[in-house]
Homo-oligomer: A and B are copies of this chain.
Amino acid sequence: MQHGLSRSERTALPSENELAAEFKVSRVTVRQALDELHRKGLIYREKGRGSYARSQQIGGVTGFGSFTTEVENAGSKPSSRIVDFVKVSSLPAGMTIHLLKMPPKNKSYHCLTRVRCVDSKPVAYEETYLDTETYAGLERADVENGSLYATMRRLWGYEPAWADAAIEPGVADEAIAKHLGINVGAPVVIAWRVTSSEQDEVLEYVKAIYRGDGFALTVRRHKIS
């Protein structure tokens, strides 16, 4: 209790044994929970000292996961407008260039084009490519209301778990400019993304174009190693 002040300033979490006693679980279980918080970058741990809270993370849209969920978590209101829903015979070239070593052959895709909005302001123009064989019977009605991920889950039992992505700069052409309400030639970020399930099934290919003025993609608490 000598340096009580400085110690109480630093100690943020009870010790593992204290937590185990409080919640009536074993120390191993407490450690599982604390390790998960550590992996998320929410706390840090020091051998011989204790566990401490880290400062707050930044918020915002990462471009991974459900657009709807991410925007809601950031405290804003998400919305989408379907621009087009057609069948195409191949993926855009940039997809294979950046993400695929072996582009799929003889496949066709549903191409769902949407404008994504945050608080009614358009921020992204998004083309989602869905394998017609995998998603046989997919109708426009299925994607018109609610999140695409919810539809994939409900009708086929697919759950997006992982994403690989490539990011490059670009400029808005006439169509993009019109949909996002920006000038032709304005700088944009293009994100190419492949989403797959926990079992390594490819669920979707996405080309997303984000406007640059007043909007940025965020990457939260990324572990360096």
Judge if A78 is at the interface, Cβ distance under 8 Å.
no
Given A44-B199, A189-B189, A200-B44, is A223 in contact with B162 using a C-beta cutoff of 8 Å?
yes
Which partner residue on chain B sits nearest A149 by CB separation?
A: B224
A46 to B217, CA, bound (A): 33
Judge if A18 is at the interface, Cβ distance under 8 Å.
no
Find out whether the CB atom of B161 lies under 8 angstroms from the CB atom of A224: yes
A223 to B65, CA, bound (A): 8
A221 to B189, CA, bound (A): 20
Find out whether the CB atom of A168 lies under 8 angstroms from the CB atom of B212: yes
Judge if A171 is at the interface, Cβ distance under 8 Å.
yes
Interface string of A194-225 (1 = CB under 8 A from B): 01001110000000001010011111111111
SS class, residues of chain A in contact with chain B? strand
Residues in chain B near residue A64, CB distance under 8 A: 219, 222, 224
Residues in chain B near residue A219, CB distance under 8 A: 64, 163-167, 219
Q: Which of A19-27, A55-63, A104-112, A133-141 contacts B (4 or more CB under 8 A)?
A: A55-63
Judge if A169 is at the interface, Cβ distance under 8 Å.
yes
Contact of A195 among B99, B101, B195, B224 (CB under 8 A): B224
Judge if A14 is at the interface, Cβ distance under 8 Å.
no
A65 to B219, CA, bound (A): 13
Given A44-B199, A44-B200, is A224 in contact with B162 using a C-beta cutoff of 8 Å?
yes
A34 to B57, CA, bound (A): 28
